[in-house]
Amino acid sequence: MAADVRATRLGILALVGTLLFGLVGARLWFLQTVEQEALQEKVDTTKLRTVPLLPERGRIFDADGRIVADNERVLTVAVDWQVIRRSDDRAEIFRRLSGWVDVPVEEMEARFDSQVYSPFLPMPIAEDIDERTATAIKERVEDLPGVTIIEDSRRVYPYAPLASHVVGYMGRITAETKDVYREAGYYLNERVGQFGIELSMEEELHGNWGLVTYEVDNGSRIVREVSRTPPINGNDVQLTIDLDQQQYAEQALETQLMRRRLELSTNPKDPETNFQTLVFPDYPREVPFKAPAGAVVVQNNDNGHIIALASYPTFDNRWFESDLSGGKFEEIFPSVDEFGEPIDPDESILVNRAIQGRYNLGSTFKPFTAYAALNTGLMSVNDYYVDGGNYRMTSVPDDQCDAGLVRCVYKNATCSGTGRSCVYGAVDVETALAVSSDAFFYRVGELLMTENDYQPVLQEQVRQFGFGADTGIELPFEFDGTVPDAELKAEYADRGVISESEGAGYYTGDNVQLAIGQGLLSASPLQLAVGYSTIANHGFVMKPEIIRAIYEPGVPDALEPGFADISQARLAVEPNVEGDVVRQISMPQAIHQEINEGLRRVIQGPGTTSDFYHSTTGEKLFYYYPRSAIPIAGKTGTAQGAGNYPWNDSSAFAAYSRDPERPYTVTAYLEKSGYGSQGAGPVVKCMFLQLSGIAPTDPVVLSDPLNTDSEVAAEPKQLADTSCYEGRFSSVRTTE
């Protein structure tokens, strides 16, 4: 190969190199000189704008798949401040928009001048427009420069006010919680769960924010999308609550409270003065019941699932999504009365009394005292005690009693027939429960202490049923409850709840009071239900479960309006069908049978005969309870209120099914509503008739839109058929 040929070919290579370098060099020169200013301006004016993408909040379903909490898309038309800065531009855009969104130009101008809108976000022109208008506006983007549609979502509660205390409500992040939410990746202008499931399941329901990054020009107009991370929607939560039962429980509770307000409580004549004076001479002979509040719990005692959880006074959770002004809110949810004093706790609305109520249980506590006596071997099922109408403590020397230093004599409740303390004669545990003999349990209270070296044996035994500790239900603000002992009394004395001298120690007298559910004992209706369920299921303390299942986002709607199609749902978490056993406690058959029989006789009788026939506390109420209904066992309770005035008696009733196929426990507590058999008993009875399929039940329907002109937290609701309340009222005046 000749050298010149090689040179020629290498020359071609050099030529190509020169060309390519020339091209690159020219481009470099062009960019850095001619284009420099234009590019610099672009860099200066283009910015990135990141827009968070809202995850859709998970929905909440009831046990049947009814959608009790849903989301509604809210579309807002907004316009960029830049394009309406000049008045003639503004007039033109407002004129064009006005026809589409049906807002007069004057109102738009007013908004423009109002200074209430953020200068960093587009100015909203019309909120809550329909999809068709939004689409139409989007399609006319050339005619409407700078106009955007902002998507937001609003929580809706299709069945409100049903189960409002359970479902809860949402609200702004508060100053106290903002650090926690910020940590969790929230935006501080978000609405978050404030109460109920909305709060306790916030983590499941919320989902994760997405993010889209736009490049924007100096007019804040989006040039293009740079990156997008889609949001992850929240999981859907299904409750164990069944709205059929929930609605009935709420109706039965409210209706009964209204009925009790019409009843009068009698100021009894004093047997000490031979019935010449009234026991409470400062009050008239008859005082109406206040019946301000109450709660109902329906639990499946086999797996612990909560089927209904009613609390009164109730509210409509849609109020919290309706942009209430401060004044209107205060009107509906008052925190002070007309005199500026904090309102009576009786009237507070935003409290779920079923789990937050701090209630004296009265005689509904006696089965647990009976269990303690039998389980510790203090007495056996065949031990009798002769109830003479009152009980005198044996462990205190007579001289101290006579000197009045110690209260030694505890009386039974008054029999209406005689006006004096009832005398039940010889009673065993079973009969003592059936007729609710106080004297019998006073003695148990004393002996449980004196026979056990003054150790807190009764406390230990009843704590096994869950008293004095929260149940762990997935609802916020649950009350722990208290079981009185030396520690609690000392704490109360420190806080000034009781006097220093009273708090100095735990005395036998305290145990005597505890034995019949009085004194410093307190528990919520839910704790009472858990305790009775434990008796019903032979010793399994079940965690009250309110979450039936958690599903992956996007459970579709069913064909039937208001329902989700649960069959299409994908589980996010394996559901806990069997329930959680908190603990199993010793419940020998003999003990169970004794308590169960006593509680069965409360409902069915018979009572006992001493001076005359004393019926059981529930016998007359349940006189007409049909044989086809769920067979039950239960207990009345009357908790004495302030001043021991009869009109302050709160009414409790707890009962469980004796049919293992229909394993329900129902408790009801009606504040200041009279005896257990008068206030709460009928509610529990109606509830069991409903569970039996006997009581007529209103169908659950989607609610009408919230009437924002209303001045009550929730519209009153009534039980369609009130005949289930009726019975032969007990003639016995007892604390039951």
Which residues in this chain contact another protein in the complex, by CB under 8 A?
A: 1-2, 5-7, 9-10, 12-14, 16-17, 20-21, 23-25, 27-29, 31-33, 35-36, 38-40, 42-43, 48, 215, 224-227
User: Alpha-carbon distance 417 to 622, whole Å?
Assistant: 21
Q: To the nearest whole angstrom, how small is the minimum distance from the Cβ of residue 45 to another protein?
A: 11
CB 591 within 8 A of CB 371: yes
Q: To the nearest whole angstrom, how small is the minimum distance from the Cβ of residue 20 to another protein?
A: 4
Work out whether strand 67-79 and strand 147-156 pair parallel, antiparallel, or are unpaired. antiparallel
Is the C-alpha dihedral spanning 93, 95, 98, 103 positive or negative? Answer: positive
Phi-psi region of 172 (alpha: psi -120 to 50; beta: other; left: phi over 0): beta
Nearer to another protein, 141 or 226 (CB): 226
| Cα-based distances in Å from 210 to 186, 213, 296, 442 | 11, 10, 42, 64
DSSP secondary structure string, 519-541? TT-BB-HHHHHHHHHHHHTTSEE
Nearer to another protein, 23 or 712 (CB): 23
Distance of CA 260 to the CA centre of its chain: 24
Nearer to another protein, 9 or 95 (CB): 9
User: Alpha-carbon distance 725 to 685, whole Å?
Assistant: 7
CB 245 within 8 A of CB 690: yes
**Structure tokens, 351:** 């409290």
Q: To the nearest whole angstrom, how small is the minimum distance from the Cβ of residue 49 to another protein?
A: 13
Q: To the nearest whole angstrom, how small is the minimum distance from the Cβ of residue 229 to another protein?
A: 12
**Structure tokens, 410:** 């505890």
Nearer to another protein, 230 or 643 (CB): 230
Nearer to another protein, 213 or 450 (CB): 213
Q: To the nearest whole angstrom, how small is the minimum distance from the Cβ of residue 210 to another protein?
A: 16
**Structure tokens, 508:** 């036998």
Nearer to another protein, 226 or 720 (CB): 226
Nearer to another protein, 130 or 225 (CB): 225
Q: To the nearest whole angstrom, how small is the minimum distance from the Cβ of residue 222 to another protein?
A: 10
Residue length of the chain: 736
CB 233 within 8 A of CB 153: no
Under DSSP, the state recorded for 173 is P
Q: To the nearest whole angstrom, how small is the minimum distance from the Cβ of residue 142 to another protein?
A: 17
Q: To the nearest whole angstrom, how small is the minimum distance from the Cβ of residue 219 to another protein?
A: 18
Instruction: State the helix-helix crossing angle for 508-515 and 438-450, rounded to 10 degrees.
Output: 140
Backbone angles phi, psi at 120, to 5 degrees: -95, -10
Nearer to another protein, 17 or 693 (CB): 17
CB 400 within 8 A of CB 406: yes
Closest alpha carbon to 61 in 550, 473, 475:
550
User: Alpha-carbon distance 463 to 483, whole Å?
Assistant: 8
What secondary structure, in 3-state letters, does 656-672 show? EECCCCCCEEEEEEECC
Nearer to another protein, 17 or 696 (CB): 17
Nearer to another protein, 31 or 74 (CB): 31
Q: To the nearest whole angstrom, how small is the minimum distance from the Cβ of residue 145 to another protein?
A: 21
Place of tokens 């090689």: 6
- HSE at residue 141, side-chain half, CA atoms within 13 A, is 8
- Beta-carbon contacts of 250 under 8 Å, excluding residues fewer than 6 positions away, are 162, 163, 296, 308, 310, 312, 314, 717
Q: To the nearest whole angstrom, how small is the minimum distance from the Cβ of residue 2 to another protein?
A: 7
Backbone angles phi, psi at 79, to 5 degrees: -130, 140
Q: To the nearest whole angstrom, how small is the minimum distance from the Cβ of residue 18 to another protein?
A: 9
Nearer to another protein, 41 or 580 (CB): 41
Nearer to another protein, 17 or 716 (CB): 17
User: Alpha-carbon distance 667 to 543, whole Å?
Assistant: 16
Q: To the nearest whole angstrom, how small is the minimum distance from the Cβ of residue 213 to another protein?
A: 9
Nearer to another protein, 91 or 216 (CB): 216
Q: To the nearest whole angstrom, how small is the minimum distance from the Cβ of residue 13 to another protein?
A: 6
Cα Rg of the chain (Å, integer): 35
Q: To the nearest whole angstrom, how small is the minimum distance from the Cβ of residue 17 to another protein?
A: 5
User: Alpha-carbon distance 605 to 618, whole Å?
Assistant: 8
Work out whether strand 123-129 and strand 286-288 pair parallel, antiparallel, or are unpaired. unpaired
Under DSSP, the state recorded for 125 is E
Angle ∠(63,69,73) on CA atoms, nearest 5: 145
Nearer to another protein, 47 or 570 (CB): 47
**Structure tokens, 707:** 């009437």
CB 653 within 8 A of CB 364: yes
Nearer to another protein, 74 or 226 (CB): 226
In single-letter form, the type of residue at position 298 comes to V
Q: To the nearest whole angstrom, how small is the minimum distance from the Cβ of residue 22 to another protein?
A: 10
